[in-house]
Chain A
Amino acid sequence: MSEDVVIRIEGMWKRYGLPIVPALRRGWRALRGRGPGDEDAWVLRDVNLEVRRGETLGIIGRNGAGKSTMLKVLAGVTPPTRGRVEVRGRIFPMIELNAGVHPELTGRENVHLLGAVMGLGRREVRAKLPAIENFCELGEWFDKPVRMYSSGMLARLGFAVAINVDSDIIMVDEVFAVGDLSFQNKCLASLKDLWEAGKTILFVSHSLDALQYLTRRGIVLDEGVVVADGAPAEMLNRYEERVFRSIRESKGSQGFRRRVTTGQVSIESARVVDMAGQTREQIAAGEPFGIEVVFRVARRLEQPLVTLSITNAAGVICTWNLSVEDGLELPSFSGRECVRLWFDEGMRFANGYYEINFGLRSAANFETLDRVTGLTGFQVVGPGRARGILSPPCHWEWRQAK
């Protein structure tokens, strides 16, 4: 392989477990006169990928898309079922950084163990111990048993050791999920130092901020297939679009992604509409729009409360409206109802994909009759690339400081 390529994956398929087990199962099915069985057990399908030295690659995908499996195969923890994987140089997975930690041992004692697990020599660990102690900012806790640590403290301990491991390729899988913001920034800064020192970095994250800070290339994994490869911001859009599409597709059979219901409410339709009452999937930033939900209630419901909220693709609640607080005193419900929530002109969401969540409660006894997330969704399209939650009218000013 070319001098520059440090990772090459060719036609790689991965299925978990012993390879003979599916073969035996197929044989058994054939014996009993049934057709060939589940071919959908594949976690990764026909993955082809090349990563060059010094490249930073973001891996984006939903839960269960195969991101962690890909990192595990690259780390050599589990073998590929088919295809070829070549790794040049030392590869280090910054995944579950506390593997092997013993709760009864102190932080200091565990550092020796973590160092050995991560491939550091005894002398190296001893030499780097002050730096590690300093980095994880545990103070006196460093000499207390790890079972007394909070999850954030434990994460800091693992990361402090990991950052001292000298390797050529580093794989990071959302280790920043725990730990406070300042520590997250510290981790990002250390990773950037490694990148600037010429290391290759593979980074699994959904945080656009982190991806843009650290990576120059991204791939989108969906159901084990690499579906897109390109600039990180573009990949994030592709990813959100896929999530958005799948929500719309699964909606047909009332199979809402997460629904808590008493079964007394059936939702007939939910859509985003414009001022003319037309169904819209896309709205322009700043354009007024409404959310309409038509539902049927099986019994008489006194003092009903309707809630509608909008979350962005990162799961952040952008708006949350309660009918009664917006001045809508509803009469009792007992049939087919239609509610609309209007966002007037001037409500400017940032570009991206949004999900709508619906709730129906009874104010009389606080009973929740229905609660659906991902009822429907819409996309906001505006000029420029800026993201975030809102894009309010604003302007920049510039002058030279005296």
Chain B
Amino acid sequence: MLSSAYVRSNERHESARQFFGLIRALVVRELTSRYRRSMLGPAWAVLQPLFYMVIFTFIRQVLGISSGKTPYVIFTYSALVPWTFFANAVTRCGVSFYVNRGIVQKMSMPREVFPLAEVVTSLFDFLIASVILAGMMIWFRVPVGLSLLWLPVLVFIVSALAMGIGLGVAAIGTYKRDIVFGMPFLMQFWLLATPIMYTLEKVPEKWQFVYRLNPMVGIVEGFRSVLIDGTAPDGGLLMISFAGVAVVWAVTWPLFRYVGQYFADVL
């Protein structure tokens, strides 16, 4: 195999500016254009978790799921908000190159721009959904304290996980669309394999170890501890989540970097 190389000189200082400028422009484009022809507009960001909340509240009565002393509505919604952010960010990353194929085929730029812009855009929806959550917390008189300082850590870790998995989905999905078609189904499964509808304690003892390997467990439980219980997240669970993020990035990022060079060839 003969080697190949593409070398470009005196560009280094410009690419960082281009990177952030483009992320900004893509996020602005998405946020300003998305609801321009919709009636409900940004309310869509709230409808998805609210919808699940209603369904889960119904199922809970059928199955007799207990949420302890916490009102079930806030128990499930506080987990659904970060979950919806995660699921949407991953799904959007998967199609980000297809959506922006015009740009990818034309200009050379770090490929991470597109998934990152999707994660940032999803963060705005996350913010909107959080406003409702804050409203609920006031309504149910949930006491809050200094544990809220953990929130940036949790938001960072869920964003990093979403981006890491999103890189993998984009890397494969840009070549073969199957993974993109399979995403809704996969996310549905993952939603049920995460303690959102039910409590972590409900999971049978023999499954606990395997179950906790899901990095979303630590994240969702972390959000609950910080928001509802007013305590710091469980250290062990959080470490598993961190390790999960590291493993995901170690696998998907190199893969993404390698196949990403050829995205323009297949779009």
Chain A residues with CB under 8 Å of chain B are 12-13, 16-19, 72-73, 75-91, 93, 95-96, 98-102, 104-105, 109, 112-113, 115-122
Contact = CB atoms under 8 A, between A and B. Distances in A.
Interface stretch (B10-18, B199-207, B229-237): B10-18
B28 interface: yes
Interface stretch (B31-39, B126-134, B158-166): B31-39
Interface in B1-45: 1-11, 14, 17-18, 21-22, 24-26, 28-29, 32-33, 36-37
Given A18-B259, A90-B10, A105-B33, A78 B103 contact: no
Interface residues of B, number: 40
Nearest to B175: A18
B29 A113 contact: yes
B2 A82 contact: yes
A85 B25 CA distance: 30
Q: Which 6 A-B pairs have the closest CB atoms?
A: A76-B108, A116-B25, A99-B102, A16-B265, A82-B2, A100-B103
Contact of B261 (A12, A79, A83, A87): A79
Contacts of B264: 72, 77-78
Nearest to B104: A77
Interface of B: 1-11, 14, 17-18, 21-22, 24-26, 28-29, 32-33, 36-37, 100, 102-108, 175, 259, 261-262, 264-266
A109 B105 CA distance: 22
Contacts of A84: 4-5, 7
Nearest to A10: B5
A16 B1 CA distance: 16
Contacts of B18: 116, 119
Contact of A122 (B4, B24, B265): B24
B173 to A, nearest CB: 14
Nearest to B15: A119
A13 B1 CA distance: 12
Contacts of B262: 16-18, 78-79
A116 B24 contact: yes
Contacts of A90: 10-11, 14
Given A73-B6, A122-B24, 5 more contacts: A16-B265, A76-B8, A89-B10, A98-B102, A101-B102
Nearest to A83: B4
A99 B107 contact: yes
B172 to A, nearest CB: 12
Contacts of B5: 80, 83-85
Contacts of B266: 16-17
Contacts of A116: 18, 21-22, 24-26
Nearest to B6: A85
Contacts of A99: 102-103, 105-107
B6 A76 contact: yes
Contacts of A83: 2, 4-5
A86 B102 contact: no
Given A18-B259, A91-B8, A116-B21, A77 B107 contact: yes
A87 B22 contact: no
